Amino acid sequence: MNAKAPFAALQDPRLNRPEPFTPRDGGFFQRDRSIHPPAHAPGYKSSVLRSPRQALLSLENSVSEITGPVFGHNDLGPLDNDLIRNYAKDGDPVGERIIVHGHVLDETGRGVPNTLVEFWQANAGGRYRHKKDTYLAPIDPNFGGCGRALTDDTGYYYFRTVKPGPYPWRNYVNSWRPAHIHFSVFGSGFAQRLITQMYFEGDPLIPVCPILTTIPDKDALDRLVAPLDLNASTPFDSLAYRFDIVLRGQRSTYFENRSEGN
């Protein structure tokens, strides 16, 4: 096998694929802040000095908010969505091989096509390849811990990696992060910009995590937990987890010469 070849593309396994996407150009739906963590969440101590205290000023979306950067395949390399190979020096990284896949959707259920999804994580032992991480678990010489992908025309993305390990951090003296993968997503307008974290079904650290429990809404928290997806696993190779990401929906506005459809 050519070590530089991308791993085989997954088939979008969903019976009901998301609706086709047609650009809209109205404002985004008002963000429902009751499902997001509040800026000031004292159980997550770092938020105390870093949380604005004044009310946010609500802006009716202008062209500055409904537009956003556009990325293309020219921005990416062929191994960018393969964390098992994209930093391998003399073998594969240590850990449970997994595929993570899903759709980027908007609140109306449409797939968000051609949008950039970036992801980063600790290695299987819970150590980040970062000069500021000093956890005693070892660096894996064959694992970088980051990747990125563009969604296809239905909003589908996938990547391959190893399952990250949990790790301790300084909040309380015995605070541990559940295994997680960080996600950064763009959408079509800058007001959709989102960073979040994906967790794994069955992780006992989920209910005691001071960062996860900043989320005030139980259902919103559950939606960050990716279920095992045996149907998408590769027999004798990798398990799979499914993680759909929902960005804000967008209204239509009607311009004089494009009143048909939206």
Based on the residue annotation, tell me whether 73 is a catalytic residue of this protein: no
Based on the residue annotation, tell me whether 97 is a catalytic residue of this protein: no
Based on the residue annotation, tell me whether 182 is a catalytic residue of this protein: yes
Binders in 177-196 for another protein, by CB under 8 A? 182, 184, 188-191, 193-196
Based on the residue annotation, tell me whether 167 is a catalytic residue of this protein: yes
Question: What kind and span of H or E run contains 117?
Answer: strand 116-121
Annotated active-site residue in 101, 103, 110, 180: 180
CB of 69 to another protein, least distance (A): 4
Strand partners, 181: 121, 198
Binders in 154-173 for another protein, by CB under 8 A? none
Instruction: State which of residues 21, 81, 84, 87 lies at the interface with another protein (CB under 8 A).
Output: 87
For another protein, give the closer residue by CB, 9 or 130.
Answer: 130
Give the whole-angstrom CA distance, residue 7 versus residue 160. Answer: 8
For another protein, give the closer residue by CB, 130 or 237.
Answer: 130
- Among residues 214, 225, 120, 127, the alpha carbon closest in space to that of 169 is found at 127
CA 170 → CA 35, 46, 61, 90, 177, distances in Å?
26, 10, 39, 34, 10
Annotated active-site residue in 44, 87, 128, 158: 128
Q: Does 62 bind another protein (CB under 8 A)?
A: yes
Question: What kind and span of H or E run contains 222?
Answer: helix 218-222
CB of 135 to another protein, least distance (A): 11
Q: Does 140 bind another protein (CB under 8 A)?
A: no
- Among residues 205, 158, 159, 208, the alpha carbon closest in space to that of 180 is found at 205
Instruction: State which of residues 5, 13, 20, 38 lies at the interface with another protein (CB under 8 A).
Output: 38
Place of tokens 């990284």: 93
Based on the residue annotation, tell me whether 33 is a catalytic residue of this protein: no
Contacts with 107 (C-beta within 8 Å, 6 or more apart), sequence order: 29, 246, 247, 248, 249
Instruction: State which of residues 10, 39, 94, 228 lies at the interface with another protein (CB under 8 A).
Output: 39
Judged by CB under 8 A, how many residues of this single chain contact another protein? 90
Find out whether 97 and 165 touch, Cβ atoms under 8 Å.
Answer: no
Place of tokens 């960062």: 211
Q: Does 138 bind another protein (CB under 8 A)?
A: no
Using the contact rule CB under 8 A, the part of the chain among 1-9, 69-77, 150-158, 228-236 near another protein is 69-77
Instruction: State which of residues 90, 131, 202, 261 lies at the interface with another protein (CB under 8 A).
Output: 131
Find out whether 106 and 228 touch, Cβ atoms under 8 Å.
Answer: no
Binders in 221-240 for another protein, by CB under 8 A? 221, 223-224
Give the whole-angstrom CA distance, residue 139 versus residue 160. Answer: 19
Active site residues: 128, 167, 177, 180, 182
